[in-house]
Amino acid sequence: MRILSGIQPSGSLHLGNYFGMMKRMIDYQENNELFCFLVNYHALTSVFDAPFLRRQTFEAACDFLALGLDPDKTVFYIQSDVPEVTELTWLLSNVTGMGLLERNHSYKDKVSKGLPASHGLFSYPVLMAADILLYGADKVPVGKDQKQHLEIARDIAIRFNSTYGETFVIPEPDIEDDLATVPGVDGQKMSKSYGNAIEIFSDEKSLKKKIMSIKTDSTPVDQPKPVEGNLLYDIYALFLDTRGQEELKERLLTPGLKYGELKKELFGVVWEYFAPYRQERKRLAADGEFVVKTMQEGARKARQVAAVYLDKARHNVGLDYWHE
Ligand code: ADP
Ligand code: TRP
């Protein structure tokens, strides 16, 4: 099965990115054909600082590699190293109804949070559809926030195929209910842009500070604590198996538990969980040449597949006038 997903290098990667997408992609690489990429064209809709974008793109590449994405098993690349995707975006644009994009929640949310209402932001889902269709992906692992984008990509593929003849694979979203939306320290969806993210590779002091700031209720220490709607439980549970989750529930229900103590414990768990990757992350960050070469090799492989789908699309819409 061909599995594909991308992430914006628009800030430091966090637990929501990790559990919603990165870890699942890394687990999938053993038995599937995987395409994983950093969508820096998409990041241009919100980042207007070139040095920042360059840095975040490099950092995100280091994060994935350190966490175990294996470039020998996975085609791992930077979106803009395969510029064919922008041409496909144009071909898809002409079968994308305005209504489809006007109904997109993500556009409205982003504008209401202060992003410029640009044409790029409005047509973001068309570029995303091109990302997926250019590689004939069967399945796309994402968090729940991307559900509508995936529906748009499917609609565009169906419309293109019915207008011009069979061209693209219709992709299926792959959303895991338990991990659908990882909450941030304030209880909203964890996001790079909300200041509520627990970053995967932050330093010890910042990580501790972030975890200590997880919002908790004011139940007195000598009372049982709620499990439902308990943010601290929801974040801690990400690191526990079913048995561990049951034990944590028991502890919450037993009077005497201090939230402050539980937060310190959670800090230890998160710090240890990522410890094996931290060393490798440091090594990669110091070997820029290796990382860049790895990404360029990934793009070379990606372009081979992209060329097949793009040529087919160009032919089916009639751009190859020399065949007349
Ligand atoms: P952000 O909102 O932090 O900018 P992105 O939009 O770049 O994150 O998301 C990259 C991937 O991570 C997507 O698959 C997205 O669904 C997933 N993701 C992001 N935040 C979360 C979250 N809080 N919970 C689950 N998955 C998430
Ligand atoms: N829109 C996605 C996000 O913000 C990123 C993305 C771009 C993507 N192209 C994609 C995800 C293709 C999956 C497949 O998270």
* Nearest CA owner, ligand 2 atom 11: 6
C-alpha 34 to ligand 1 mean position (Å): 19
d(Cα 56, Cα 99) in Å, to the nearest integer?
Answer: 34
Which part of the chain has CATH 1.10.240.10?
A: 202-273
What are the structure tokens assigned to 219, written together? 């139940």
* Nearest CA owner, ligand 2 atom 3: 7
- Asked whether 28 and 110 are in contact (CB, 8 A), the reply is no
pTM of the model: 0.95
In this prediction, residue 176 carries a pLDDT of 86
Ligand 2 atom closest to residue 125's alpha carbon, by position in its atom list: 1
What would the DSSP string read from start to end of 186-202? TSSBP-TTTT---BTT-
Active-site choice (23, 113, 144, 189): 189
Q: Give the architecture-level CATH label for domain 202-273.
A: Orthogonal Bundle (1.10)
Nearest ligand to the CA atom of 192: 1
C-alpha 191 to ligand 1 mean position (Å): 6
DSSP 14: B
Q: Give the architecture-level CATH label for domain 2-182+287-317.
A: 3-Layer(aba) Sandwich (3.40)
List, chain by chain if needed, residues with CB within 6 Å of any ligand 1 atom. 7-8, 10, 16-17, 20-21, 142-143, 145-146, 179, 181-182, 189-193
Active-site choice (110, 208, 225, 263): 110
Ligand 2 atom closest to residue 143's alpha carbon, by position in its atom list: 15
Q: What pLDDT tens digit does each residue of the chain (324 aa) get? A: 999 999 999 999 999 999 999 999 999 999 999 999 999 999 999 999 999 999 999 999 999 999 999 999 999 999 999 999 999 999 999 999 999 999 999 999 999 989 999 999 999 999 999 999 999 999 999 988 999 999 999 999 999 999 999 999 999 999 988 777 899 999 999 998 889 999 999 999 999 999 999 999 999 999 999 999 999 999 999 999 999 999 999 999 999 999 999 999 999 999 999 999 999 999 999 999 999 999 999 999 999 999 999 999 999 999 999 988
d(Cα 74, Cα 187) in Å, to the nearest integer?
Answer: 34
Nearest ligand to the CA atom of 181: 1
Which residue shows structure tokens 């969508």? Answer: 39
CB neighbour list of residue 162: distance below 8 Å, 6 or more residues apart = none
Which part of the chain has CATH 3.40.50.620?
A: 2-182+287-317
